[in-house]
A = this chain, B = another copy of it.
């Protein structure tokens, strides 16, 4: 999956293409790390990639049930736990929801922690690189004697489209 144009991460693009490439990358990453991407785990990831937005666990569960797969909450939560632990899916704390990672580690198999942009108007979510901010946050924490292990950075506001609507209409 190509790195999204930073100015257009809210824009549409070829979902099917990006979906298949993401699946392949995750599959490769699992193979390299001897992780088991079981059918259930793969299916949960696919559902997230297909929807291409943040989904609640119970929404995913419903989708699984529609397909005849077994379905109780722990099934989904366990698959999500695996996917989140290995960085293939992100959890949005503010929304109690999950989203497939948009730029899976290419070859590095390293988890990364992004910045999430959550639109207050249309509820769309974009994932952007945290970049140098991650280190700055760690340094800020370090100044208080705190050792940072992971970060949650979520920004709420207006996406380009909704901002435009407010300004024009």
A-side interface residues toward B, CB under 8 Å? 6-7, 9-10, 93-94, 115, 117, 119-120, 126, 128, 130-131, 133, 136-138, 140-141, 143-160, 163
Contact = CB atoms under 8 A, between A and B. Distances in A.
B152 A93 contact: yes
A122 to B, nearest CB: 12
- A interface: dominant SS: mixed
Q: How many subunits of this chain does the assembly comprise?
A: 2
Contact of A149 (B137, B147, B156): B156
A133 B126 contact: no
A152 B154 contact: yes
Contacts of A160: 144-146
Contacts of A151: 153-156
Contact of A155 (B126, B141, B157): B141
A133 B136 contact: yes
B163 A147 contact: yes
Nearest to A156: B150
Given A115-B137, A137-B115, A126 B146 contact: yes
Given A115-B140, A140-B133, A152-B152, A157 B163 contact: no
A81 B141 CA distance: 28
A10 B145 contact: yes
B149 A157 contact: yes
A34 to B, nearest CB: 26
